Amino acid sequence: MSGTQQTVAIGRGYAATRSVSRAWFGGVHGADYVWAIAFALPYAAIFLFFVIYPICFGLWMGSSPALYAELFSDPRYLTTVVNTLLYVVIGVNLKMFLAFMLSGFFIRKRWWNKALLVVFILPWATPALPAYMSIHWFLNGQWGMLNSALYEFFNFDGPVYLNERWTGLGANIGAYVWKTTPFWTVILLAGRMSVPQELYEAASVDGATGLHRFVHVTLPLMANLYLVCTLLDMVFALGDFNSTFFVSGGGPAMSTEVLATLGIRYAFTLAVPNLGVAAVMSALPLLIPLVILLMRKLRMSEGQL
Amino acid sequence: MTKISRRAVLGGGVGLAAAGTLARPYIANAQAKTATVWQNQGFVRAEDEAFKTTVEDYQKASGNRIDLSVMPFMALGQKAVSALTSGDVPDLMFFDAPSYILPQNAWNDKLIDVSDVVEPYKDKMSASALLNSTFYNHATKKRSIYLVPIKQAATPFHYWGDLVEKAGFKATDMGNTWNDVWNFFKPVQTELRKKGAQYRKIYGIGLQITTVGPNDGNNLFSHFMIANGGQDIVTPDGKLHTDDPKVREAAIKAVEFMTGLYKDGFVPPEALSWNDADDNNAYHEKLFVMDFDGTLSPELAWISHEKEYYQEMRVAALPLMNDGKTQMPCQVGAGGGFIPKGAKNVEVAKDFMKYFIQPQVMGANLKSGLGRWFPSTPEIVKNDPWWLDDSKDPHRKPYITEGVLQPTIAQYLGFNPAWGQVNAEQIWGQCHADVIKNGMTPAAAVDKGFKRAEAIFAKVTFD
């Protein structure tokens, strides 16, 4: 081996060692490394205790195949799965569409827009429990505000909304949309505000009017953010318990139950928490692909809106 | 700036760990005579004050210490289930309504047997209190006592006396049997609605014919079963008797009568979707005249409204069964203390309950709670005129009469954990919905409900 070759080989070996070292130590050595570890340790411990441990404990609680046999033999389970899918797909998409449209409204520069935005955010800022319980009473067929108003103004007795599956499920979805639309509107509003004005100006110079500017500038630039928000909200909606529990209570006859409320019912009404965990775990085949897709989307959309 | 070396950081860490390890036995020793107790918050403040007084008196008498945590009813229920699942438990849980937690956990051998605490008072206790405290343990293959029963609760009728009178009726017109009482409120509604627009939507009966629950609808159905002679649907040996023609007939009569009241327009249509709080809220708003609900909570919640509490609200005890001859028994629930396995100081927990179960302590504690709960030992009521004195409180006497002096039976939950699932699935509410919404006959709806109950019970075997 010539001297040059030897130098190259040594160089390669050194480079390989260095890259391994970089992977392990991040280029930090000595006292700096110890300090880095000392600072990272509390976060790692918190992550282990409050994230990894509960997840593993949950997986362990719901690990027995007998639990799933029992779950699938429950006549309510299939209805619950269908309800959960409807809740997530309709609730999230309706909300994100509304939030996207409303963000377009709130970005307009009018003097009263900011004041209106403050009022608009109130449902999101209101604590969930009293808000959903108010909706439950608002919809009461006999004495609720909605039917009382219908009778007062139109001399018409409205239906008993929470006595029917579809109106009950609609009420749950509507309440969830009402409660959380303001949050996503603000997120999408922030996204719209980040779109460089120069692009709109350039489009205007090219003769683009309102609809064209929306289709060719706003939509492409907001698409990633919209998708990420939708995926993220689907993950939230899958685990949402409050709306169903406090608006329809899962009724009538458990026909509007979703997986989160069924799980809580098993855990705390029946006092069989393992079955409750299994009910929630059965959403994993939907949840895991959503999270993977979300992570991929977040990685791909680096540097974009 | 002083530079801290890696050795110093690691050394410090090891030192801290060692100090923690060495310090632990000292803390444990310091708590050797301390029991951690979780208690659910009372419905009225006086209940919490009474519990604190009992704890203070015990601490003085024994020299032990009670580390008491008071939390809302729902929160304690959830915390108790979580604690029993994870094993991170207190020494004692004192819960007003543990009947949905205990059967499953006794079955899974997660509770300490407290027979030795209850034994000295067993003969004086009501039979229903004892049954409500006895559960099957699948590990030991026998039934034993896992709850120290201190308090019991019954379900009386609550009604607005002023509305009954406004409709032109008197309480004495109510009739003697179970169905008579319910029927009494039909003309009350009819007459009230003639009194003006403000009564346009008033209903006579707040029947919890609910498919949502979790508790009121099941409790109501059980009482309809009892009134119609079907109280043996589940027997203390844990067996389900849906094949008994008497039980089936009682269930059909119950469903027929309840759905009839609903279909005839005497029950708010929303009742099919009520939760356990909805009837209370609507009752307080005088949106219907009569409610059948557990304890004196509808009245005590309004104790500060003097006019309503003393002059307008009324409580009535259970009448005769529908046979017109037999006094109808009330199905009562029990509350008290239970000790989870894994408790660090079982000795003090048991000692505290031995103190609490003494008649004079139990009586004083429950009197302070304004009589919402009555003692599991009937002689306390018989020996103290306060319980039946209606000169100062119009509601206590009929309530205590129903729960202590009249016959009572235990809840089915303790007989077999499967009943808990029957309740959680709201099978009886579903029967009513099948008749009202799906056009089934009461017999077909009952048979469908019974079939599901049988499937649930079949999963639980006592061998």
CATH of the domain at A284: 1.10.3720.10
Report the pLDDT averaged over residues A100-119.
90
Question: In this structure, are A232 and A165 located in the same domain?
Answer: yes
Mean pLDDT to the nearest integer, B386-394:
92
Residues of chain B with CATH 3.40.190.10: 33-154+333-403, 157-293+425-458
A123 and A188 belong to one structural domain: yes
Is residue B432 a contact partner of residue B454, using CB atoms and an 8 Å limit? no
Residue scoring higher pLDDT (B197 or B320): B320
**CB pair distance less than 8 Å for A252 and B6:** no
- Give yes or no: residues A46 and A116 share one domain: no
- pLDDT the model gives residue B53: 93
Instruction: State residue A15's pLDDT score.
Output: 58
CA distance A13 to chain B (A): 29
Measured between beta carbons, which residues in chain B are less than 8 angstroms from residue A38? Answer: 9
Quick one: pLDDT at residue A20? Answer: 62
B426-459 pLDDT tens trace: 999 999 999 999 999 999 999 999 999 999 999 9
Chain B residues in contact with A253 by the CB 8 A cut-off are 211, 426, 429-430, 433
Q: Residues A266, A167: one domain? A: yes
Superfamily (CATH H level) for B33-154+333-403: Periplasmic binding protein-like II (3.40.190.10)
What's the rounded mean pLDDT across residues B267-276?
91
Residues A12-29 have a mean pLDDT of 63
| Judgement on whether residues A53 and A84 belong to the same structural domain of the protein | no
Per-residue pLDDT at B23: 38
Confidence at residue A21, expressed as pLDDT on a 0 to 100 scale: 64
Encode pLDDT of B399-425 as tens digits. Answer: 999 999 999 999 999 999 999 989 988
pLDDT of B282: 92
pLDDT at B26 over 50: no
- The C-alpha atoms of residue A67 and residue A73 are separated, in whole angstroms, by 10
Tell me the average pLDDT across B146-174: 96
The tokens for B219 are 């409790």
The residue with greater pLDDT, A267 or A6, is A267
pLDDT category, A12, cuts 50, 70, 90?
Answer: low
Q: How far apart are the first and last CA of chain A?
A: 54
End-of-domain residue from the set A14, A43, A61: A61
Q: What is the 3-state secondary structure (H, E, C) of B130-182?
A: HHHHEEEECCCCEEEECCEEEEEECCCEEEEHHHHHHCCCCHHHHCCEHHHHH
Flag whether pLDDT at B6 surpasses 50: no
Instruction: Please say whether the beta carbons of A175 and A137 come within 8 A.
Output: no
| Mean pLDDT (whole number) for B148-169 | 97
Single out the residue in A18, A37, A61 at which a domain terminates. A61
Q: Suggest the residue from A142, A161, A246, A262 to mutate for an interface test with chain B (most B CBs closer than 10 A).
A: A142
**pLDDT of A18:** 61
Q: How confident is the model at residue A208 (pLDDT cuts 50, 70, 90)?
A: confident
A143 contacts on B by Cβ (under 8 Å): 201, 282, 285, 287
Question: What type of residue is A2?
Answer: S
What's the structural domain count of chain A? Answer: 2
Of all residues in chain A, the percent with pLDDT exceeding 70 is 90
- pLDDT tens-digit readout, A43-87: 999 999 998 998 898 888 988 999 999 899 888 899 999 999 999
Residues A140 and A210 in one domain: yes
Where is the domain boundary, A15, A41, A61? A61
Evaluate if residue A1 carries a pLDDT over 50: no
Please report the DSSP string for B277-339 in residue order. Answer: THHHHHHHTTSEEEEE-SSSHHHHTTTT-HIIIIIIEEEE---B-TTSSSBPPEEEEEEEEE-
ipTM: 0.78
Closest Cα to residue B53, out of B365, B277, B295?
B365
Taking the alpha carbons at both ends of chain B, their separation in whole angstroms is 73
What does the pLDDT read at residue A303?
A: 47
pLDDT digits (tens, 9 = 90+) for B36-64: 999 999 878 888 999 999 999 999 999 99
Residue A13: pLDDT over 80: no
A38 contact B CB<8A: yes
Same domain, A102 and A31: no
* pLDDT tens digits, one per residue of B284-295: 999 999 999 999
A123 and A169 share one domain: yes
The answer to whether the CB atoms of A265 and B101 lie below 8 A apart is no
Chain A residues with CB under 8 Å of B437 CB are 163, 252
Share of chain B above pLDDT 70, in %: 93
**A136 and A196 within one domain:** yes
Predicted local confidence at residue A205, as pLDDT: 86
Cα separation of B267 and B203, whole Å? 6
In a domain, A268, yes or no: yes
In a domain, A305, yes or no: no
Is residue B9 over pLDDT 70? no
pLDDT bucket at B22, cuts 50 / 70 / 90? very low
The per-residue pLDDT for range B243-267, each reduced to its tens digit, is: 999 999 999 999 999 999 999 999 9
**Considering only alpha carbons, which residue of chain A is nearest residue B275?**
A249
Do A133 and A271 fall within a single domain?
yes
- Dmax (CA) for chain B in angstroms is 93
pLDDT in tens, B77-132: 999 999 998 899 999 999 998 988 999 999 999 999 999 999 999 999 999 999 99
Chain A residue numbers with beta carbons less than 8 Å from the beta carbon of B10 are 34
In this prediction, residue B20 carries a pLDDT of 40
C-alpha pair distances (Å), B432 with each of A74, A186, B28, B132, B289: 20, 46, 56, 28, 22
The answer to whether the beta carbons of residues B340 and B112 sit under 8 Å apart is yes
What pLDDT is attached to residue A305?
52
pLDDT in tens, A184-207: 999 999 999 988 888 888 888 888
Give yes or no for A61 touching B (CB within 8 A): yes
Residue A289 resides in a domain: yes
Closest partner residue to A271 among B10, B101, B430, by Cβ? B101
Percentage of chain B modeled with pLDDT above 90: 78
Count residue pairs from A and B with Cβ separation < 8 A. Answer: 97
Looking at residue A28, its pLDDT comes to 75
Domain that holds residue A30: 1-61
Cβ <8 Å between A268 and B78 = yes
Q: Are residues A87 and A28 in the same domain?
A: no
Alpha helices in B2-101 (DSSP H): 6-30, 45-62, 73-86
Q: What pLDDT shows up at residue B2?
A: 42
Tens digit of each residue's pLDDT (9 = 90 or more) over A284-293 = 888 888 888 8
| Residue A304 pLDDT exceeds 70 | no
| CATH class assigned to B157-293+425-458 | alpha beta
Mean pLDDT for chain A?
Answer: 87
Question: How far apart (Å, rounded) are the C-alpha atoms in residues B374 and B96?
Answer: 12
Q: What percent of chain A has pLDDT over 90?
A: 53
| pTM confidence score | 0.84
Lookup result for tokens 């029991």: B35
Q: Are residues A56 and A84 in the same domain?
A: no
